[in-house]
């Protein structure tokens, strides 16, 4: 079946449909990772977006049960250059096409993803409409895309992906080394898996949970999750984070969690032209000079200048564009990073930050709150 991806700037890309039939719209973005398409599809931070992968061959290792990052496919649509007809992996249970079809998500294959990526890098991410069918009209899809141009940025996507009810993850209460409250703005399951491997029992709360509710059980720490969309819509979460920081509990934030901490301390965020999405972004830790290769997925960043008078240090920067990649509070056991140490399938250069969070919780048990040092191996 025919499929067309139409962009708000008038460009159209014709290819072959796969997955579910129909029509969808969203912000069109690209990811440069060579593997991890299952994790991308189920990452809540991609909610409301049509994701194009720059690696040319996708689907060759199928879909592996248990590798999902959330309870459903989150992307609005999926774009690949070549869809593998046959998958080969002893763990795989179904094909990528069947996975998307069962999830009701539209895909398109056979288009020039390099040309699409170059356009998005030059002009910035933009709204697109993806439709299937032999009689679809490209020009009408362009008009729809233009009419929806501001749709993505006007939605609070966090409220659409957060858990409706609290739930537990990790060891039983009697076996847990630490107990952590998680503010779920779009948490990835691999974050919970990594914490569980370290003996942490997490209680995952909806994004609208208040600070009093997060702290009601006197947890050892609070974790602020990644998530989708514009942080400007999250005044309720910023207020929660501000009150959590006042409790002097150890806090760790990832991606959107990094931005929430920054905003709670008076910082501002801005939209990146085409975002950071992939598994090869170099980040420099300023105090140590160490560089790690990171997995990233965000379309917004903190304005470092807006944090110059806050009680926080910018500890890490992106070596590609100089944007803020990490914060450390000057007096409290609080730190955050903009990238993903829980990255699955990788890289795993920065996984040690979870251990740093545990160190802060242990020190908080044995003494007064202290400044969180720059994380190190």
Write the burial class of residue 56 (CB in 10 Å: 0-12 exposed, 13-18 middle, 19+ buried).
exposed
Distance in angstroms (rounded) separating the CA atoms of residues 111 and 109: 6
Per annotation, catalytic residue among 255, 276, 281, 329: 255
H, E, C per residue of the chain: CEEEEEECCCCEEEEEEEECCCEEEEEEEEECCCCCHHHHHHCHHHCCEEEEECCCEECCCCEECCCCCCCCCCCCEEECCEECCCCCCCCEEECHHHHHHHHCCEEEECCCHHHHHHHHHHHCCEEEEEEECCCCCHHHHHHHHHHCCCCHHHCCCHHHHCCCCCEEECCCCCCCCEEEEEEECCCCHHHHHHHHHCCEEEEEEECCCCHHHHHCCCCCEEEECCCCCCHHHCHHHHHHHHHHHHCCCCEEEECHHHHHHHHHCCCCEEEEEEEEEEEEEEEEECCCCCEEEEEEEEEEEECHHHHCCCCEEEEEEECCCCCEEEEEECCCCEEEECCCCCCCCCCCCCCCHHHHHHHHHHHHHHCCCCCCCCCCC
Active site residue 255: yes
| Whether residue 143 lies in the annotated active site | no
Q: Are 344 and 39 in contact (CB under 8 A)?
A: yes
Give the C-alpha separation, 312 to 327, whole Å: 6
Q: Assess whether 185 carries a catalytic annotation.
A: no
Instruction: List active site positions.
Output: 255, 340, 342
């Amino acid at each position: 079946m025919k499929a067309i991806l139409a962009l708000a700037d008038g460009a159209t890309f014709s290819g072959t449909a796969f997955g579910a039939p129909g029509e969808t719209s969203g912000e069109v973005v690209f990811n440069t990772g060579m593997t991890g398409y299952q994790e991308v599809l189920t990452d809540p931070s991609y909610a409301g977006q049509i994701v194009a992968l720059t690696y040319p061959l996708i689907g060759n290792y199928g879909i592996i049960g248990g590798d999902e990052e959330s309870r459903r496919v989150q992307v609005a649509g999926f774009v690949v250059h070549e869809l593998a007809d046959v998958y080969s992996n002893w763990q795989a249970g179904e094909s990528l096409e069947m996975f998307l079809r069962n999830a009701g998500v539209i895909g398109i294959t056979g288009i020039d993803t390099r040309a699409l990526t170059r356009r998005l890098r030059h002009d910035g991410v933009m709204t697109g409409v993806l439709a299937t069918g032999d009689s679809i009209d490209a020009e009408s899809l362009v008009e729809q895309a233009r009419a929806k141009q501001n749709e993505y940025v006007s939605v609070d996507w966090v409220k659409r992906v957060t858990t409706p009810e609290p739930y537990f993850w990790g060891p039983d209460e009697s076996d847990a080394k630490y107990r952590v409250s998680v503010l779920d703005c779009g948490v990835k399951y691999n974050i919970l898996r990594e914490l569980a491997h370290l003996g942490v029992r997490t209680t995952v709360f909806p994004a609208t949970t208040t600070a009093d509710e997060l702290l009601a059980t006197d947890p050892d720490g609070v974790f602020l999750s990644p998530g989708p969309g514009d942080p400007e819509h999250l005044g309720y979460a910023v207020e929660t984070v501000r009150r959590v920081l006042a409790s002097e509990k150890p806090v760790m934030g990832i991606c959107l969690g990094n931005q929430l901490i920054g905003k709670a301390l008076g910082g501002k965020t801005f939209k990146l032209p085409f975002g950071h999405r992939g598994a090869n972004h170099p980040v420099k830790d300023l105090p140590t000079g160490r560089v790690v290769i990171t997995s990233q997925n965000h379309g917004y960043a903190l304005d470092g200048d807006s944090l110059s008078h806050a009680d926080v240090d910018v500890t890490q920067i992106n070596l590609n564009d100089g944007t803020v990649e990490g914060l450390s509070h000057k007096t409290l056991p609080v730190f955050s990073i903009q990238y993903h140490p829980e990255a699955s399938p990788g890289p795993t250069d920065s996984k040690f930050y979870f251990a740093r969070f545990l160190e802060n919780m242990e020190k908080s048990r044995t003494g007064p709150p202290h400044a969180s040092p720059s994380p190190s191996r």
